[in-house]
Structures are given as structure tokens and as C-alpha cells.
A and B are shown apart, each in its own frame.
Chain A
Amino acid sequence: MNPAEPIISVEDLTRVFGSLIAVDRVSFDVAGREVFGFLGPNGAGKTTTINMLCTLLKPTSGHATLNGYDISSQQDQVRQSIGIVFQDPTLDEQLTARENLQFHAMLYNVPASEREIRSRRVLEIVGLAERSRDKVETFSGGMKRRLEIARGLMHYPRVLFLDEPTLGLDPQTRTAIWEYVHELRQQYGITVFLTTHYMDEAENCDRIAIIDHGNIVALDKPDDLKHRVGGDIITLRPVDAEATRRELKDRFGLNGAILEAHADNSGPAGTHLRLEAPSGRTLLPQLLKGLSTEILSVTVREPTLDDVFLSLTGRQIREEAAAGKMAVMKDRIRIRRRARSH
């Protein structure tokens, strides 16, 4: 294959479920060795797109090729070219961790001499080496997820799909997995196609497609996407949001958006005013000097991908959903650990 040719090429891909258009005439290319990310809220159509690309779901219309093969008419060749870590669990819980890996390696024709070496290596990476001979049934939610990822790394496909791969995993594990993915990419020229809710994970990508309601609303390098937002983000917490908003408009010509923020690491709950300004840091002192309405607190920061999404769609990607799921999983892991140490 010509190296300049994209490894995935998608043209007007569409999938309809009843009256719902889950993926709406999506087109994009992914270059070989790229780490390509899909970022979007729940129900945006990320998984549906992946399912079509890996031949599990027939497109309603449109075309796509992967590794030069048509996803509709050359399914066998497409499947030879890919590996996937699904969003939902797909392990055999009655088998041990090691057996799940071995079974996968056999299905993907990994030579017998390599199977043992690789399964040890991937179990090491996801921190499950000690549990390799335990039935998956006895694993916690987070451990199952780690095994699932380990299995996806057992064979070295041309394209590796990762659907929300590290949801619910602790930061160390995520880092270890990412290091290994990058290593595989270096050594074997693997292309990675992932979907994620995590902004910091999205930063691992060479390019990101932001998807909403089945449409790609932006596609670019993470930094370039952030440059699309008008500079820095200033968040004010005024006493009277409406009055301050009007004053900013009249005196400074700035358009502030009123947000009902939830308590999170970016500040306390309550009504906020959000501004985008080319150089927020120098503007801020002037603002504070000039404003006559009362302000309780102020933050200035560089834009994140969430801001990009907000400015493109007027909504925030619900990262709380991800954070919530993760808290539950962590609790479960903690409870199991405690149970075992007794």
C-alpha cells in the first residue's frame, strides 16, 4: 500500500436506527500510524461508527475502506487488519485471565511460541500478572477492564480500535497502557483509533474529531482546535450575573455567557460568567479595575477541548458521567481488596 494513502477512509458513512440517525454522513481520513480520537458526548455516534468500521454493523449508506479493503464487501480482509477493545465487556468469565488471552491469540493466529511471552507481558502492563490463573468471574470491574485492554494488545493489527479504553481505570494504569500503545505504534506501525470522554486522554491523539449528534463538528490537531476558541477562558463569579453581563457588554464590548456550573475541580457551584478573550491575563486587571458590579471570584485559564466543544455546540461534554462511573468502580475494587486481605 502507498504510505501516503490513508489507512482508513470514510465517505458519507450513515447509520440509521428506526427514525434515529445515529451517524449522519460522516467523512474523514485517518493516516497510517496516527493516533486518531473521537471525542463526543454520550449517544454521539462514536461506538456506532466503530462498529461499522470493524464490520459488526452494516452501514445504512456511505462507504469506508480500511487498510485498502471495503468494509461492506471485504469483511474478512478488514477483520484480518484490525483489533478492537469494545466499550462493553466481552470476556469469557468462566475462563481464567490467561486462557482468555491465549484464546484470543489463537483466534488471531499469533504463533504458539509468542503466546506465552506476550500474555505475560500484557498482564504485567495492566498489573494482573498475579491473577493470571484466576477465573475472570472473580475479578472486579476495573480488573476486567484491564484484562480486556490487555487482550486487545495481544496481536499487532494494522488498526487498533479502542472504545473508551481506560474508563474507570486509575491514572498509573492508564499511563502504563498508553506507554505500551505508543511502543507498539513505534515498533509495528499500528494506527490507533480511540473514543474517549477524558480530555487528557484526547491530548494523546495526533488528531481529534469532535462528534455530536452523529456529525463531525470539528477535526484537527488538539492544539489547533484549542486555538479556535478565542484565546483564554475567564470565568467570573458575580453577585448579580445579569448586571455584570450587561456591564461587560456595554463597557468592554465582551460577550459573556451565563453558566450554571456544578461544583468540580474548576471552581465552586453557582452562577458563572464565562468569557473568551485573546489575552485574558492582560485583560483581567483592566476588567477588575473597571467593573462596578461586585465579583466574588475570578479564574483565567487556557482553553481545553471541553471549551472547544462548548464553543462549537453550546453544551459541555458531560465528563461527570465518566467521573461517576469511575468512582463506583474504584469503590468496588477497594471492597474486593479489603475482602481478600481478611
Chain B
Amino acid sequence: MRRFRAVYIIWLRDLKRHFRDRARIIGSLGSPIVFVFILGQGLGASFRFTGAEADFDYKVFMFPGILGMTVLFAGVFAAVSIVWDREFGFLKEMLVAPVPSWSIALGKVISGATIATSQGALMLLLAPLVGIRLTLPMVLALLPTMFLVSISMTGMGILVATRLKSMQGFQVVMNFIMMPMFFISGAMFQLSSAPAWMDVLSRINPLTYGVDALRSIMVADFPSRYPLGYDLAMLAIISSALIIISIIAFSRQQ
């Protein structure tokens, strides 16, 4: 029990820090909003969907994808804060404490997922503006789904953090991992006509299942790629694997 207390303590600290920084909370919603209302508006004019009505609104298609993007960025970023903690020395305070190092990593995964989900929840407030009508059952399905997606993202973030010496390397992670993950997830366009290599990558990308699940829940009249149950099962498998791998990597490194 004591071991799980440490998970809670680390979670509590990260949440305190996060919710204190209002400017960052608002700021990190900036790019999703730009994506939806500028890119979505612009691209929508020239978009043709397969399997949906010809006048299907692109913004509605894109919105679940942007939710996925919010969760991706918030989740990875929250987990990579371990690198800050290392630079500012605070990681030493945690590592030398009488708590197992797996509980530190697990605490980080859960706090990151909580933060990412809360960012996603904030984005949900914008759904009516693109013409998506949210119902309570929908929201109750969306929140745990986002949490599940977030866990893969934070797990991956922890893994990245064990390799990063300083925050300067984060740019590389952003360009070579996060951006490709986002584009190969079906967030911005359907993957049905994608080349084979992209199709393969999309199948190991947790965000693919995340975006597909969010879209199934939010947009009933759009054909989803996989059944919702399949999406959730894949997410659960990938998330569990990433949690385990990231905890092992974190504990090894110390």
C-alpha cells in the first residue's frame, strides 16, 4: 500500500504544478484551435471522403483527430517533464526517497495521463462550435477513452525522457516521433487510400486506434476504420506494453 502511496504523491505534485500554470493550460490549446478553425476551414473546401456523404463537414471529421493531437502533445510533454526535474535537481529528491523507482515512473504516467485528459476535456467545450452535439453518455465514453490514449502517450514520453539528456533534444522528438505519429493516425485524413508503408505504421501507432475510437463515439454518421471494441482492445494492449517498458527503462536508468 505504501508503495502505491508514492504514486499518489507524485501524481498530486504534478497536478498541483499543472493547474497552477494557467497560462500554459490556455496556451497549449492554441495550436489545436488553430488547426480546427483555420486549417479545418481551409482544407475542408477541397476534401473528398470515401464512404461518407459528399457534403460531410471536414471540421467534424477532423475534430476527434485534433482531440487526439491535444492528448498526444499534452501527454508526451507532461511525461518529458522528468527531464526538467532532472535538470532542476528535483528528480534526485524523489530518487533518494524510500520509494521504489517503478512507483515514480508509474506516478508520472498517471499524472501525465490525467493532465492530458483534462486538456482534452477542455477541447471538448469547443465541440458545439464545429457542429458536434455532445450528449452526457458521449462525454462519459470520451473521457475514459482519452485517458486510455493518454496512457500510451505518457508511457512513450517516459521512454523518451530516459534517453534525453536535456530539453534541447525535445525538438528532435517532436519532429521525428510526435508529428509523424499525428499525421499517420488518420487524424487529418482517411488512411484508406494511404500507401502500404503508411498503413503498416498506422497499425502500430496507438493514436490511430485512439482517433478512430474518439471518432466512432463522437461522429455517428461517419464510417469508422475499426469497430470501437477493437480500437479499445488495441489501445489497452499498447498502453499496458508501454507502461511496462517505460517503467523498466526508467528503473534501469537509475
Interface residues of A (CB under 8 A from B): 54-56, 76, 79-80, 82, 84, 86, 88-95, 99, 103-104, 106-109
Q: How far is the CB of B58 from chain A (nearest CB, A)?
A: 40
Asked whether A94 and B93 contact (CB < 8 A) given A76-B98, A76-B100, the answer is: no
Q: Which 10 A-B pairs have the closest CB atoms?
A: A90-B89, A107-B97, A80-B98, A79-B98, A90-B93, A106-B9, A94-B17, A90-B92, A92-B90, A89-B89
Interface centre among A80, A82, A95, A103 (most CB of B within 10 A): A103
Complex: chain A residue closest to B88, CB-CB = A93
- Partner of A84 from B9, B21, B96 at Cβ < 8 Å: B96
Q: Once the chains bind, are A108 and B98 in contact (CB under 8 Å)?
A: yes
From A56, A79, A88, A94, contact of B21 by CB (8 A): A94
Residues from chain A with a CB closer than 8 A to the CB of B252 are none
Report how far A188 CA is from B2 CA in the complex, Å: 23
Contact A92 B97 (CB under 8 A): no
Q: Could you tell me the distance between the alpha carbons of A181 and B132 in the complex, rounded to whole angstroms? A: 63
Residues of B within 8 A of A104 (CB): 93, 97
Output the least CB separation between B102 and chain A (Å): 11
CA gap between A88 and B241 in the complex, in Å: 36
Q: Is the pair A88, B89 in contact by a Cβ cutoff of 8 Å?
A: yes
The B contact surface, by secondary structure, is helix
Question: For residue B2, which residues in chain A have a CB less than 8 angstroms away from its CB?
Answer: 109
- The verdict on B130 contacting chain A, using a C-beta distance below 8 Å, is no
Question: Looking at A56, A79, A106, A107, which has the most chain B CB atoms within 10 Å of its CB?
Answer: A107
Give B63-93 as 1s and 0s: 1 = Cβ < 8 Å from A's Cβ atoms: 0000000000000000000000000111011
Asked if residues A92 and B96 are in contact (CB atoms below 8 Å), the reply is no
Q: For the complex, is B13 an interface residue (Cβ under 8 Å from A)?
A: yes
Residues of B within 8 A of A86 (CB): 89, 92-93
Interface status of B6 (Cβ within 8 A of chain A): yes
- Chain B residues whose C-beta falls within 8 Å of the C-beta of A88 in the assembled complex: 89, 92
- B22 in contact (CB, < 8 A): no
**Contact in complex: B13, A95 (CB < 8 Å):** yes
The answer to whether B94 has its CB under 8 Å from any CB of chain A is yes
Q: Does B20 have its Cβ within 8 Å of any Cβ on chain A?
A: yes
Asked whether, in the complex, the Cβ of A55 is within 8 Å of the Cβ of B96, the reply is: yes
- B52 CB to nearest chain A CB (Å): 46
The one of B16, B95, B96, B99 in contact with A95, judged by C-beta atoms closer than 8 angstroms, is B16
Contact B6 A89 (CB under 8 A): no
Q: A79-B98, A107-B99 are in contact. Are A95 and B17 (CB under 8 A)?
A: yes
Closest beta carbon of chain A to B250's beta carbon, Å: 15
B21→A103 contact, CB < 8 A: no
Chain B, residue nearest A79 (CB): B98
Residues of A within 8 Å of B95, CB to CB, are 56
Q: Is there contact, CB below 8 Å, between A90 and B99?
A: no
Nearest opposing residue in chain A for B6, CB measure = A107
How far is A218 from B100 in the complex, measured between Cα atoms in Å? 37
Residues of A within 8 A of B96 (CB): 54-56, 79, 82, 84
The complex places the Cα of A80 from the Cα of B89 at a distance, in Å, of 20
Q: How far is the CA of A89 from the CA of B89 in the complex (A)?
A: 6
Q: How far is the CA of A122 from the CA of B97 in the complex (A)?
A: 19
B residues in contact with A106, CB < 8 Å: 5, 9
Nearest CB of chain B from residue A167's CB, rounded to whole Å: 15
